[in-house]
Amino acid sequence: MSMRLAAAFSLCILCAGAARAAVSDYAYAWPLHADGDSGAWQVELTPEIYAALATEDLRDLEVVNASGESVPIAPYRIPVAAIAHEDFVDLPMFTLPVPADKGAADESIQLHIERGADGKLHRLDADVGGAKAPAAATALVLDASTLHDALTNLRIDWGGSNDAVTARFSISASDDLQHWRTLVAEAAVLRLRQDGNVLERHEVALVEAHVNYLLLRRLDQGAALPDLKIGARIVSRSTPAVPARQWLQATLDGSDTRHLDHGIPAGDGTRPVAYRYHLPAPLPASALKLELADDNSLVAGNVLSAEHVGTTPSWIVRASFVAFRLRQDDTVASNDEFVTSTGVGRARDWRVELATPLDRAPALSIAYRPDRFVFLAQGAGPYRLVAGSARARHGDYPIDAALAQLRSKLGANWQPPLVALGARELLQGEHALVIAAPAKPAPDWRTWLLWGVLVAAAAVVGGLALSLLRKK
């Protein structure tokens, strides 16, 4: 109970009591399932919650306890040091000989393994039919045994940036270096130059593979890739320290025949050269994916987002791109994700503007880190998150002071635990998001009486004046 007592003590100092939330002012509610006992909790917003909010600053949400009282709540400031970077982790590589029989099974490889106390591979010798690994082997074993999370992508980088390169690989996985299973039968990476544009693809998706070792086989007969370096991106799960990066596909709203970005040459005025998209709510985007719909397509352009200041939105270029989708037989190569410009706020509305028209709209997906709020466990649970209102706004509470007191007792690295969200419950629905027209004031009988007296007095004065004029 020490955590709850610490939170209550902080609350007594910082807050002058509990305010009763007008739950009837909100559109929806979500039950919060807290496992254990804590003085403070975190709740992570989902696309469903974002879609319910009516404010860009996310103020039309609250947390209420079992008595319907609002509890202190504030946006959770994630420590900068805790933010997980989306960089790729370099994987140790070991070369293998290539068997003369290209169809030989992976199990035919005879390995001599030396591991360190840390579990990493320190030495790996291989024989395939008595052959030793050549100086420029086209098969590689990658050690991912120290990565405890699933892998989502491999990134294959090489030197010689002025050279045109295409290479095809197959990727297999193993947990013991003896038995292998195919993850990717064929994937292409490339760096090409065409009409002044550089087409690059370095990433290969692995569909969240839990593996210890990876085997890459070069399938084509191209030249060896110089200064080869291979990294892996892991699945970042949300933890109390940091929310994981998430992807959300934007909804297509239609097309335009003109650009808003004057840096792109104008189109012919008849064919679509721009496409409009929207997200369920303004989100802090960090990267985007652009997927072309048709094979053997290539296009350059810009992605813009709207910043709403006043009544007229201003459009900001978030990324310049060269997108492509190339198919050869059963192999499809497309562009990697693009990093968006930093220092730009949340955005809901997006545009993709193209230098040349496309027959079909590309698919646009946005990467973002969900916002979190922290609330104090004031009053008895269960707690509920209520959100979506044209009128209600949560108050300002000095939550940081309460968290500092909790960390003084529980350790500097303590983080409020995460609660789980239950299924959405309907409160007032869309009616809560509509600003009601002001009611007409009730008639004031005093005002009408005063006007009546004034009119009667004016009539009397007028009658007296008329009577005097007649006598004269």
* Per-residue pLDDT tens over the stretch 49-95: 999 998 888 999 999 999 899 999 999 887 655 555 556 788 988 88
What is the mean predicted confidence (pLDDT) over 171-189?
A: 89
Work out the widest C-alpha separation in the chain, in whole angstroms: 142
Strand order in the sheet with 73-75: 40-44, 372-376, 73-75
Assign a CATH topology to domain 89-234. Jelly Rolls (2.60.120)
Whole-model pTM: value is 0.74
How sure is the predictor about 366, in pLDDT bands with cuts at 50, 70 and 90?
very high
Task: Tell me the DSSP string of 240-283.
Answer: SS-PPPEEEEPEEEEEESS-S-TTS----SSS--EEEEEEEEEE
**pLDDT value at 1 more than 50:** no
Contact 66, 107 (CB under 8 A): no
Give the chain's end-to-end CA distance (angstroms, integer). 100
Whether the per-residue pLDDT at 376 is higher than 80: the answer is yes
Say if residue 111's pLDDT is above 90.
no
Each domain of the chain, given as residue ranges in start order, spans 2-79+372-433, 89-234, 246-368
Q: What number does CATH give the domain 246-368?
A: 2.60.120
pLDDT at position 443: 61
Residues in the chain: 472
Taking the C-alpha atoms of residue 15 and residue 12, their distance in angstroms, rounded to an integer, is 6
**Distance (Å) of CA 460 to CA 341, 447, 449, 452:** 78, 20, 16, 12
Q: How far apart are the C-alpha atoms of 140 and 171, rounded to whole Å?
A: 10
Average pLDDT over residues 148-166: 83
pLDDT of residue 458: 75
- Tell me the pLDDT tens digit for each residue of 206-263: 876 788 889 999 998 888 888 899 999 887 777 787 888 889 999 999 999 989 888 8
Domains 89-234 and 246-368 share a fold: yes
Residue-level pLDDT at 155: 93
Lowest mean pLDDT among 128-142, 195-209, 404-418, 441-455: 128-142
Which comes out higher in pLDDT, residue 7 or 321? 321
In terms of average pLDDT, the best of 182-186, 393-397, 421-425 is 421-425
Residues 323 and 41: their CA atoms lie apart, in Å, by 42
| Residue whose entry in the numeric block shows the structure tokens 């007008």 | 22
Q: Sorting pLDDT into bands at 50, 70 and 90, what band is 5?
A: very low
What integer pLDDT is reported at residue 275 of this predicted model? Answer: 96
Check: CB of residue 113 under 8 Å from CB of residue 124. Answer: yes
